């Protein structure tokens, strides 16, 4: 595996490669990322990963500065996961001048995660488009754990006619059900034990939805929030939405997904469950 930080060097390296699969990351890699890397091999002869902690998607009070940067360990993991090329730009490689052009996603950016993280998805969409322009992949893989991010990137790719196939990959979980996330590193040992309650609560909600019907949605969402918060969580939202567009469920039987974000101590965890 070779590593490039400049866009020019990356482009030279990839010249003549007709099938490239791409996995963008912000580093601090765990088994979930490595699952994406291994899956990428099915889509291309050349697998490119990127590591870039993207300032544009962090709010002023978020964890940009303390976001774990573990470059050497990440590089070793990528090499063993069969990645061919690592793109690891510095901030001045990717943003040599202040970024004045942005991708402004539609209303979907203001819902759910977007309501709690203003500007987040604008920063994500902008960097993903820029990374796509650098790597020019034929396929790009994203985890379903960041469900809304995946929806937004799919929609951006469709609406801007980008020549890349977006692949969503199932969430990787610990044996206790906890979704793997770089932010799990912030949890104390006691919080780590408590954290699987999030997915367990979503599973209970899913079963009740199936038993009692969609008409009970709001009551069941509120019950789920109360079930978490009585164990010390501070829940931002638990919401049942349509998989296709994350809109409120219509009565015509669209496929549903339950999305959640909740704070355990200082750590904000997100998860989701398709119904």
Active site (catalytic) residues: 33
Site string for ligand PAF, 51-70 (x = CB under 6 A): ---x--x-------------
What residue spans of 30-163 are helical by DSSP H?
A: 31-40, 71-80, 91-94, 113-116, 120-135, 147-159
Binding of residue 135 to ligand PAF (CB under 6 A) = no
Three-state SS at 22: strand
Three-state SS at 163: coil
Distances (CA, A) of 118 to 108, 167, 209, 238, 259: 12, 26, 30, 18, 18
Among 24, 89, 105, 249, binds ligand PAF (CB under 6 A): 24
Among 74, 113, 146, 236, binds ligand PAF (CB under 6 A): 146
The residue among 113 and 236 lying less far from ligand PAF, judged by its C-beta, is 113
In the complex, the smallest distance separating the C-beta of residue 20 from ligand PAF, rounded to whole angstroms, is 17
Total residues at the site for ligand PAF (CB under 6 A)?
A: 10
Please, which of residues 147-186 interact with ligand PAF by CB under 6 A?
149
Q: How far apart are CA 157 and CA 164, in angstroms?
A: 7
Question: C-alpha 236: how far from its chain's center?
Answer: 18
In the complex, the smallest distance separating the C-beta of residue 97 from ligand PAF, rounded to whole angstroms, is 19
In the complex, the smallest distance separating the C-beta of residue 249 from ligand PAF, rounded to whole angstroms, is 26
Q: How far apart are CA 182 and CA 171, in angstroms?
A: 13
Kindly list the residues in this chain that would bind ligand PAF in the complex (CB under 6 A). Answer: 24-26, 54, 57, 124, 127-128, 146, 149
């Amino acid at each position: 595996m070779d590593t490039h930080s400049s866009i020019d060097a990356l482009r030279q390296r990839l010249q003549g490669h007709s099938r490239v699969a791409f996995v963008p990351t912000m580093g601090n890699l765990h088994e979930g990322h490595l699952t994406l890397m291994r899956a990428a091999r099915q889509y291309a002869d050349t697998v490119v990963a990127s590591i870039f902690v993207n300032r544009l998607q962090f709010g002023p009070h978020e964890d940009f500065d303390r976001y774990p940067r573990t470059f050497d360990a990440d590089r070793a993991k990528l090499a063993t996961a069969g990645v061919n090329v690592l793109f690891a730009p510095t901030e001045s490689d990717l943003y040599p001048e202040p970024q004045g052009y942005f991708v402004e996603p539609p209303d979907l950016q203001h819902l759910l995660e977007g309501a709690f993280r203003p500007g987040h998805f604008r920063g994500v969409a902008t960097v993903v488009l820029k990374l796509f322009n650098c790597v020019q992949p034929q396929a790009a893989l994203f985890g379903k754990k960041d469900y809304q991010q995946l929806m937004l990137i799919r929609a951006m790719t469709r609406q801007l006619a980008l020549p890349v196939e977006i692949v969503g990959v199932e969430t990787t979980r610990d044996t206790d059900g906890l979704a793997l996330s770089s932010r799990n590193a912030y949890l104390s040992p006691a919080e780590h034990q408590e954290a699987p309650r999030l997915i367990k609560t979503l599973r209970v909600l899913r079963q009740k939805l199936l038993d009692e019907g969609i008409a009970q949605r709001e009551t069941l969402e509120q019950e789920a929030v109360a079930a978490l918060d009585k164990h010390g969580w501070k829940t931002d939202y638990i919401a049942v939405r349509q998989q296709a567009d994350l809109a409120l469920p219509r009565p015509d039987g669209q496929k549903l997904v339950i999305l959640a974000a909740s704070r355990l101590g200082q750590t904000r965890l997100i998860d989701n469950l398709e119904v």
